[in-house]
Structure 1
Amino acid sequence: MKLVFEWLSKVWNIVLKVFTTKLFQLGTQELSLIMIVQLIVMAIVTLYISRKLQDVIKRRVLTRFGLDRGTREALSSLIGYVLTVLGFLIVLQTAGINLSSLTVFAGAMGIGLGFGLQNLTANFISGLAILFEKPIKVGDYVKVDDLSGTVEKISIRSTTIRTNDGVFVIVPNTSFLENNVVNWSYEDPRARLRIPVDVPDESDPVIVTEVLLEAARKEPEVLPSPAPEVYFKGFGDGMDFELLVWIDNPPNMESIQSSLYYLIEEQLREQGIEHAEPQRDLYIRNLKDLEFLLQKPQQTGAGNGSYSQEESLSNKAVPAAKKNKVKANSRGKLTLRDLLRKVSYFEKCSDSDLRHIIQQGYRQMLKAGDIICEENDPGDSFYIILSGLVEVFVESIGKRVATRKPGEFIGEMSLLLGTPRTATLRALEDTILFVVDRENLKSLLAKHKDLADQISEELFTRKETLEQLGIKVGGTQEKQTGTNQIRQRIQSLFGI
C-alpha cells in the first residue's frame, strides 16, 4: 500500500511540474500551462456572461424604448462586442499581464493578420460599417445581386438572409458594401411593381387600359394610393402595355404579381381580347413549283360549285393577325368608356381624354338597396352615376330630399366642403357608379376645369336646398358669396 502512495505521489509531482513549469514570458508575467488553462476558462466564462447580458439588454431593456427590430439587433450586437472586449481586458489584468507590454506584440500580430486574413478583416470592417450606418437592418427585405430575401441576422463577419423559399443564405458583409443592394424596406416599405402585358394590334387601347386598372383594383394587396397607372410602351409582336401598381409588402411581391396576372387574364378574356402572338415572315424559294400547283383546278366532292387549289391555299393562308382579332364580348358588358359617353359632360371627349378619366377612377356595381355612404360619414370619394337611380335621404329629418339619375354626380358636398356626409346615399335599383377618390380628383379637375365649374354651380344649388330644409352646411360666408366661394375652396383644396 505504501508503494502505491509513493507511486501516486511521484505521478502528482510530475503532473504538477508539467503544469507549473514556465513555458514563456509575456511582458513581465511568466506563463505556465495551468495559467493558460485558467485564462481559457475565464475567457469562456466572460464570453458566456457577455452573451447573456447582450440577450437581456435586447429583450428587456431595448424593447421598452419602442425601437424597431433592426435597431434593437444592431445596438445589442454592438453592446455584446463591447462587453466581450472589456471582459477579455479584465481577464488579462486579473491574470497579472501588463497590457502595455503587449503593444509591440499586438502590432506585429496585426500586420501579420492584415496580410494573411485580408478577407476576414474586410468582412469585419464591413460588419461594423453596417451596424453603425445601418443601410440594412434585421427584418429588411433586400436584394443582393440575384439573391432576394429577409435579413435575419447581422454578425461581425456575415449576414444571414432567408429567401422566399425558406432557405437561409450566409452572405459576406463585403457584398453589401461592394455591390449594388436594393433595400425594399429602407425608410418607406412601399414599392412599385411593373406588370408587362402584350395584346394584339387590333385591341382598343382604352378598353385595355380599363381592363388593367380594373384588375389592379381587384387585388387587395395593391394600394389605392398612389393610384394604379397604365403606360403604353410601344409596338412589338402586338401593343405593349405596362401596369404600374404600388404595394407595401415587398416580401409578397411574387405572389402579388401572380395574382395580378390571373386577374388580368380573366378581365382580358371577359372583353374577348387574346394575347399577342409572335409574327414571323415566310420566304418561299420554289415559287414556280407553287404556281404550277395553283394552276391545277380541283373539284370538290360536295355541292355544285368548284374552287381552285389557289383558292384553297389562300383560305388556309389566313394572316396570323386575323387570329388575334378582338372577339365580341360574349357577356355584352358595356365598357366604362361607353358608360362615360352617356354622361353629357363626357359625351364629346376624345378617346385620349376618356382614357385619362378612366385612370382617375373605377367602376362600382351596386344592387338595389345597397348603401353607398351614410350620413355623418367622412367624405373621401366623389361619384358619377352611370346607370340606375340613387336616393338622397337625410336621416336627421327623416326625408328623401332628391333622387339622382344617370349623368349626375353625388358625394361632392362633403368632399369639397370638408364636412361630414349630410345625407345617406342608397341605390334604388341596380346602379353603376364611377368612383373618384380624393387623391385622384385633383388630377381630374385640373384637366377638366369646366367640370370643376359645373360642380361648383350644382354644389351651391344643392347647398341652398339643404339649408332651406333647415340643414346647415358650411359657414355663413359661403352662403353670401355663392359659387365664387366654392370655386375658391376647390382651388385651395386641389391647387387648380
Structure 2
Amino acid sequence: MEFQELFNGIVVQGLFEELSNFFSTHLFTFGGKQFSIGSMVELLFQLIIVLVISNLTKQLLKQRVFPGVGLNIGTSESLSTIGSYVVTLIGFFVVIESTGINFSSLTVFAGAIGLGFGIGLQNITSNFISGITLLFEQPVKVGDYIEVEQLAGIVEDISIRSTTIRTINNVFVIVPNSRFLENGVVNWSYRDPKCRIVIPILVVDESDSLTVMEALLAAARQESRVLAAPSPEVYFKGLDAEKSMLKFELLVWIERPIEQDSIKSALQFLIEAEFRDRDLDTKAAPTDIVFNDLPTIAQLLQGIQNGSPPKAIAPDKPISGWLLRDLLKKVSYFQHCSDVELRQVIEKGYRKKLAAGEVIARENDPGDAFYLILSGAVEVVVESIDQQVAVRRSGEFIGEMSLLLGTPRSATLRTIEDTILFIVDHANLQSLLSSHHELADQIAEALSQRQEALKSLGVTVTEATKEETPFQLIRKQIESIFDL
C-alpha cells in the first residue's frame, strides 16, 4: 500500500515537472523580455481582465452614472464609449509595463510597424479617426434619425470603426465611420427634431382655389401627428400648363421625422376624403381619344348605316364585389361613420382565407374579433344543442356582439365553403374608439335597442331601468372593454 502511494506521488511529481517545463518553454524575446508559454497565458489573462473592466465601466457609466446626471441617450452613449476606450488604453499600457518590456528598445521596431500598418490599413485608420471624431464632436448620436447616401434610419451604436443604423424596415446596416465625414449627412434629430414636410397636390384648373385651401387645411388639422404650431400652410404654386392643372403644396410640421412617410400617407387619405366631400377633382380631363376596340366601333357604325339602332355592348366581365367601406356601413354601428373613420378600420384590419369546414370561432370562446364575409358562406351552430341556427353569406357580418360587449361566443362559426373574411379585431376597434369617442356613443345607442345585447350581459330591461338606462350600462361596458 505504501509502495502504491509512493509510486503515485512520483508520477504526480513527474507530471507537475513536465507541465512546469512546458509552460517555461522559451518562445521569443521582445523588447528585452523573454516570453514563454506561461507568460503568454498570463499576459492573455490580464488583457481579458482589462477588456472585462472596460465593458463594465461602459455599462456603469451608461446605465447608472449619466442617466442620473440627466444626459440624453446619445450623449451618454458617446461618453460611456469614450470612457471604456480610455480604460482599455490605460489597462493595456499597465499590462505591458507589468511584463517588463523595455519601450525604448522598441522605438525603431514600432516605427517600422507603424509605417507598415499606416500603408496597409489606411481605411481602418481613417474609420478609427472618424469614429473618435464622431464620439467627441457628436454630429451624429445614438438615437438620431439620419440619412446618408440614400440610407435612412436610426443610429443604434457608434463603435470605433463603424456605426450601426436600423432602417425603418428594421434592417441593420453597418456603415464605416469615414462615410459620415466624407459625405453629407442629414440629421433629422440634430438640435431640434421638428421638421416640415411638403405634400404636392394637383387639381383641375376649374377648381376654386379657396375651396382647395380649405380642404387641405381641414385635412391637416385632422391628423393628430401634425403640430398645431407652427400651423399648417397652403401654397398656391400656379398653373401646370402642360397638364392644365392647378398646383398647390400643403406644408405641415411634425416632431417625429421617422414617421414622415406614415404621416404623408395619412394626410393623402384625409385630403382625398375632403376633396370628395367638396366635389374637387384631381383628375385631368383626357385630351386624346384612343380607339381600343376598332372591330366593335366598326360594328356599331355598320349598324347605324343599315338603319338599326346601336346596341349596348356588354362588358367582358360583370362588375361585382363590394368596397370594404360599403360593407362596414352595412353594420348598423358603423352606418354614421365618416370615410376617414372607416379608413382606420380598413387600414388595420386584415383578410383571411379559409377552406370549407374550418372553424372561425368556437362557442364560449372570448369575443376578440368580428368578421365581414367577402366571399363564401359561414354557418352559425349552437353546439350545446347541436343545431344550425343561421347561414351567413358574402356581404354579411358575424361575431360583432361578442367583440363589442366582451362576452363569450354564443355559437360556433364554421365555413361551409371556401371563404374569404375581413377581420376587425379588438386592437383595431380600440384604436378607432380611442380617437373617436362619439362612435362609442353611437354603438352603445344601437346595442341598447337590441334585447339580446342586454340579455348577453345578464340584465333585463326592467332591471336596467331601476338604476341605469340600457344605454348607460352598455356604454360603461364598452368603456371597460376598450379602456376608454
Q: Normalization by structure 2: what TM-score?
A: 0.57
Map of 2:40 onto structure 1: 36
Distance in 1 separating the partners of 2:125 and 2:191:
30
SS state at 1:176 partner: helix
Residue 27 (structure 1) aligned to one of 28, 31, 39: 31
CA distance in 2, matches of 1:278, 1:22: 91
Letter matched to residue 51 of structure 2:
L
CA-to-partner distance for each residue in 1:354-396, whole Å, 9 max, x for gaps?
xxxxxxxxxxxxxxxxxxxxxxxxxxxxxxxxxxxxxxxxxxx
1:146 aligns with 2:150: yes
User: In 2, distance between residues paired with 1:189 and 1:294?
Assistant: 69
- Segments of 4+ moved more than 3 angstroms: 1-15, 277-284, 293-301
1:239 to 233, 243, 246: 246
Counterparts of 1:220-369 in structure 2, within 5 Å, are 220-233=224-237, 234-235=239-240, 236-237=242-243, 238-277=245-284, 279=286, 281=288, 297=305, 299-301=307-309
Residue 115 of structure 1: aligned partner: 119
- For residue 82 of structure 1, what is the aligned residue in structure 2? 86
Deviation at 1:126, TM superposition (A): 1.0
SS in 1 for 2:28: strand
1:154-169 matches, cutoff 5 A: 154-169=158-173
Q: Deviations over 1:430-480 (max 9, x none)?
A: xxxxxxxxxxxxxxxxxxxxxxxxxxxxxxxxxxxxxxxxxxxxxxxxxxx
* 2:186 is the alignment partner of 1:182: yes
- The one-letter amino acid of 1:267's match is E
* Offset of residue 279 of structure 1: 4.6
Q: Which amino acid aligns with 1:99?
A: F
- AA aligned to 2:140 is I
Q: Which residue of 1 aligns with 2:195?
A: 191
Q: 1:80 to 1:205 in 2, by over 3 A?
A: same
User: Structure 1's 173 and 259: CA in aligned 2 closer, same or farther, altered over 3 A?
Assistant: same
Q: Which amino acid aligns with 2:165?
A: I
User: Structure 1 CA distance, aligned partners of 2:193 and 2:307?
Assistant: 71
Equivalent residue for 1:69? Answer: 73
Structure 2 residue aligned with 1:100: 104
Which sections of structure 2, spanning at least 5 residues, go unmatched?
313-484
SS, match of residue 197 in structure 1: strand
SS in 1 for 2:164: strand
CA apart distance, 1:295: 13
What is the aligned partner in structure 2 of residue 133 from structure 1? 137
Rg comparison, structure with higher value: 1
- Partners of 2:77 and 2:285 lie apart in 1 by 52
Over 3 Å counting, the alpha-carbon distance change for 1:178 and 1:281 in structure 2 is farther
1:214 and 2:218 matched: yes
Contact (CA 8 Å) 1:26, 1:97: kept in 2 or not? yes
Contact kept in structure 2, 1:223 and 1:248, CA below 8 Å: yes
- The percentage of counterpart residues that share the same residue type is 47
After superposition, what is the alpha-carbon deviation per residue over 1:102-131, rounded to whole angstroms, capped at 9, x for unaligned? 333332222222222222222111111111
Alpha-carbon deviation of 1:178? Answer: 1.8
Quote the residue 2:456 is aligned against: none
CA distance in 2, matches of 1:46, 1:296: 97
Cα distance in 2 for residues equivalent to 1:155 and 1:145:
20
What is the SS of the residue equivalent to 1:224? coil
Change (3 A) 1:8 1:43: same
Deviation of 1:242 after TM superposition, in Å, equals: 1.5
TM-score by length of 1: 0.56
Within 2, Cα distance between the matches of 1:103 and 1:280?
82
In the aligned structure 2, how far is the partner of 1:245 from the partner of 1:275?
21
TM-aligned CA deviation for residue 162 of structure 1: 1.7
- How many residue pairs match? The answer is 303
Supply the AA of the counterpart residue of 2:142.
V
Is the 1:144–1:181 contact (alpha carbons within 8 Å) kept by the matching residues of 2? yes
Q: Provide the residue aligned with 1:58 in structure 2.
A: 62
Q: Distance in 1 between matches of 2:19 and 2:100?
A: 24
Q: 187-196 or 173-182, which moves further after superposition?
A: 173-182
Change in 2 beyond 3 A, CA 1:154/1:205? same
Structure 1 pair 53/295, CA: closer, same or farther in 2 (3 Å)? closer
State the shift of 1:6 in Å. 4.9
Output the amino acid matched with 1:32: S
CA distance in 1, matches of 2:302, 2:209: 40
Q: CA deviation at 1:12?
A: 3.8
Secondary structure of 1:110 counterpart: helix
Q: Residues 30, 211 of structure 1: CA spacing in aligned structure 2 closer, same or farther, 3 A cutoff?
A: same
CA distance in 2, matches of 1:277, 1:160: 46
Distance 1:53 1:264, change over 3 A: same
